[in-house]
Amino acid sequence: MIQRDYLIIGSGIGGGSVCENIRKYDKRGTVTLVGAESFHPYKRWMLSKSFLREKTAPLKKLVHLEPGWYDSHKIETRFGAMVTQLNIDRRLAVLGNGETIEFNKACLAMGSRPVRPPVAGVGLGNVIYLRTIRDALALREMASLEKMIVIVGGGLLACETAASLRQLKFKVSIMHRNPYLLNRYLDPDTGAWISSYFAKHGVTLLLGESLNGFEGKTVLRNIQTKSGNRVAAGVAVVACGAEPNLELVRNTPLSGPHGSPVTEFLETEEKGIYAIGDLAFYPDRIMGGVRRQTHWENAREQGLVAGANITGKKRQRYEQIPYFWSEIFDLRLDFVGDFSLQPTRVELNGSYAKKKFTARYYQGERLRALLLCHASPREVESAKSGLRSALGK
């Protein structure tokens, strides 16, 4: 049996960040990082952006830390491996090859997986999801062979993927059940503007259309909508959201209906076991309430906090203004704050036409979020601090 002081389950950016701060505060503790992918932790956010656009993009551009860092800091890595069983009481983890690791402390960083819509034809060839390096490479190869690509969904991943593929001169359509893109985050006016921006760049918009199924014998030929329309498609990229990978801890206190419940220190109710990133359902001490975020910035910051806390050498709360950003065509959009509710009032400073603006989202008289287009890093930081002040934090 293998014995380790720390076991990190999941080798995304969150898991890699946990390892960073474990080594910052504990130079000697034994650490094993286990991940299903065969790659070192990498910048997943690039897959729908520059990595997809560059026809010969080198993998080294994606790497978060040089592979040699893990060896030089004595982090044992098990890539292309999975933890198949986790015994919380006995602190035992069983790997897919039958090996057992006995651990003192652990961090759950398994991330999330794409939602597979419950419709016919999801298993057809050329119906793909963009989650991993392999997915991005496969999409690039398929796109070069097919004439029409349809993106199913209207969120960040869908929009970024559609924009990147269109910049490569492919014929691209977006099918989205709502009347405008990015409706989860944007007000109707800004949503209408961003949707028209896609149309101006040659993306065919199929808005207000809901997916009913994929058609084809072995590979995709058409996409059927609930209204009865058939849309010709050689490739479909399904981007209908993500759900946390909680199967390993299902039916335990580490799993809840909205994620893995954690304290402000990112620790579960099981002492010494932490959860971060797409899994963590954490108390938001700044915005209020409890939330789960699925963005790279969140996983990175939570990994650093959990990595420090798990060593017992430093104790810090996770207190961050929710933040993420997107790159669409020539637009840079920064999202600061809580976009979970439609605002009751929007205050726009700047101009859509000039592609330089700040939209402030209010709930009643309370500022809850800011959307910035083409803002400088200083302006983004100012927005974060301004929101903190408005909330009295």
Query: Please, are residues 14 and 276 in contact by the beta-carbon 8 Å criterion?
Result: yes
Residue 198, H or E segment: helix 188-200
Give domain status of residue 316, yes or no: no
Q: Cα 271 to chain center, whole Å?
A: 27
Q: 């990994």: which residue's tokens?
A: 303
pLDDT of 179 reads: 96
Note the pLDDT of residue 59. 77
| Residue 125 and residue 234 in one domain | yes
Gap between the Cα atoms of 160 and 175, Å rounded: 14
How far apart CA 48 and CA 46 sit, in angstroms, is: 6
Q: For residues 212 and 130, state if they share a domain.
A: yes
| 129 shares its domain with 214 | yes
273: tokens are: 């076991």
**Which stretches of the chain score pLDDT less than 70?**
56-58
Q: Do residue 6 and residue 75 come from a single domain?
A: yes
| Listed residues 238, 273, 299: the one ending a domain | 238
Which pLDDT score, from 0 to 100, does residue 57 have? 59
pLDDT one-digit tens code per residue, 290-327: 999 999 999 999 999 999 999 999 999 999 999 999 99
**87: which DSSP letter?**
E
In terms of domains, do 288 and 345 share one? no
Q: Looking at the structure, do residues 26 and 63 belong to the same domain, yes or no? A: yes
The domain total for the chain is: 3
Whole domain around residue 370: which residue ranges? Answer: 330-390
Q: Give pTM, 2 decimals.
A: 0.94
Residue 106 is assigned to a structural domain of this protein? yes
The domain boundary residue, chosen from 206, 238, 270: 238
Residue with tokens 């990082």: 33
For residue 58, what pLDDT is reported? Answer: 67
Phi-psi region of 199 (alpha: psi -120 to 50; beta: other; left: phi over 0): alpha
Question: Residue 317 domain-assigned?
Answer: no
